């Protein structure tokens, strides 16, 4: 009886943190994705290296000074210009530019232009997400009124608010969760099947069984003559 109870406490203690983190990720994922939707918005511009999108009468452009190669996987490092209605909102961080592409793949993993719809407020924005290195990110948001808002944050701050995590998924260097990456690993028999799912369930079962046996034993002692 005591051994079951202790084993249950130990297994639950070991499993509690990842299980709680997983539960939080599921809840936040549901809330964020029910409120927001994201779609890529890059269109080819007039110049080969020019990608753009519009919101209302306002235009957002992504551009670089590299040529376009029609064959091969040629890549070079260079800055990407972010231009809103002719004004610069660029950052000097370097991106890997894939010269054979004239779509979102040109700056994949470094700069991404998307349309963010907020179903709660009924509004939409164009957002440029950028990986500026050393686990730091920035977003440049453009509303239908032309207002430009910049947000800079460290990877550890992507959860406040969690929509940040949604916006940087296309420019993060690895699979990214909202507040924790506990669910972003490649699943195996050990993780998460054996640990923490099985250990958590078995630990709870041991804990309940030990508690029930303890109560029954107390009941027997109470009724003894």
| pLDDT tens-digit series, residues 74-94 | 899 999 999 999 999 999 999
Residue 23 burial (CB < 10 Å; 0-12/13-18/19+)?
exposed
Residue 131 burial (CB < 10 Å; 0-12/13-18/19+)?
buried
pTM of the model: 0.82
Q: What is the pLDDT of residue 154?
A: 98
Q: What domain count does the chain have?
A: 2
* CA 11/CA 202 separation, integer angstroms: 7
DSSP for residue 106: G
Q: Based on the fold, state whether residues 17 and 119 are members of the same structural domain.
A: no
pLDDT at 215 over 60: no
pLDDT at 214 over 80: no
Q: What is the pLDDT of residue 48?
A: 43
pLDDT at 140 over 60: yes
Please write the tens of the pLDDT for every residue from 142-200: 999 999 999 999 999 999 999 999 999 999 999 999 999 999 887 788 888 788 878 87
Q: What is the pLDDT of residue 84?
A: 97
Domain-located, residue 225:
no
pLDDT at 31 over 80: yes
Mean pLDDT of the residues in the chain: 86
Q: Is 218 helix (H, G, I), strand (E, B) or coil?
A: helix
Q: Based on the fold, state whether residues 72 and 126 are members of the same structural domain.
A: yes
Q: Based on the fold, state whether residues 50 and 150 are members of the same structural domain.
A: yes
C-alpha distances (whole Å) from 225 to each of 9, 134, 217, 221, 222 are 34, 73, 15, 9, 8
* CA 95/CA 78 separation, integer angstroms: 5
pLDDT at 30 over 60: yes
Q: Based on the fold, state whether residues 19 and 120 are members of the same structural domain.
A: no
Q: Based on the fold, state whether residues 54 and 99 are members of the same structural domain.
A: yes
Domain-located, residue 211:
yes
Domain-located, residue 35:
no
Q: Based on the fold, state whether residues 60 and 146 are members of the same structural domain.
A: yes
* CA 86/CA 84 separation, integer angstroms: 5
Q: What is the pLDDT of residue 70?
A: 76
- Asked whether 165 and 177 are in contact (CB, 8 A), the reply is yes
Higher pLDDT, 90 or 40: 90
Domain-located, residue 116:
yes
Q: Based on the fold, state whether residues 8 and 70 are members of the same structural domain.
A: no
The domain containing residue 201 runs over which residues? 2-24+186-218
Q: What is the pLDDT of residue 45?
A: 47
C-alpha distances (whole Å) from 164 to each of 37, 53, 99 are 13, 21, 28
Q: Based on the fold, state whether residues 9 and 91 are members of the same structural domain.
A: no
Q: Based on the fold, state whether residues 58 and 94 are members of the same structural domain.
A: yes
Q: Based on the fold, state whether residues 121 and 162 are members of the same structural domain.
A: yes
Q: What is the pLDDT of residue 130?
A: 98
Cα–Cα nearest to 106, from 75, 152, 142, 130: 75
Q: Based on the fold, state whether residues 51 and 6 are members of the same structural domain.
A: no
Q: Based on the fold, state whether residues 208 and 127 are members of the same structural domain.
A: no
Domain-located, residue 176:
no
């Amino acid at each position: 009886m005591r051994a079951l109870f202790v084993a249950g406490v130990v297994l639950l203690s070991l499993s509690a943190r990842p299980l709680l983190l997983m539960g939080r990720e599921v809840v936040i994922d549901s809330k964020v994705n029910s409120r927001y939707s994201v779609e890529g918005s890059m269109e080819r511009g007039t110049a080969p290296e020019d990608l753009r999108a519009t919101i209302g009468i306002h235009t957002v452009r992504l551009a670089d000074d590299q040529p376009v190669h029609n064959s091969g996987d040629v890549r070079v490092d260079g800055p990407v210009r972010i231009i809103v209605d002719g004004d610069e909102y660029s950052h000097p961080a370097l991106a890997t530019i894939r010269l054979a592409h004239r779509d979102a793949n040109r700056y994949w993993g470094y700069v991404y232009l998307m349309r963010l719809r907020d179903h709660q407020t009924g509004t939409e924005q164009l957002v440029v997400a950028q990986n500026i290195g050393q686990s730091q990110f920035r977003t440049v948001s453009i509303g239908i009124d032309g207002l430009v808002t910049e947000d800079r944050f460290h990877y550890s701050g992507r959860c406040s608010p969690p929509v940040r995590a949604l916006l940087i998924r296309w420019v993060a260097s690895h699979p990214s969760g909202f507040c924790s990456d506990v669910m972003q690993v490649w699943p195996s028999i050990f993780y998460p099947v054996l640990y923490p799912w099985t250990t958590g369930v078995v630990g709870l079962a041991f804990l309940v069984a030990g508690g029930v046996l303890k109560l029954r034993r107390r009941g027997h002692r109470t009724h003894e003559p």
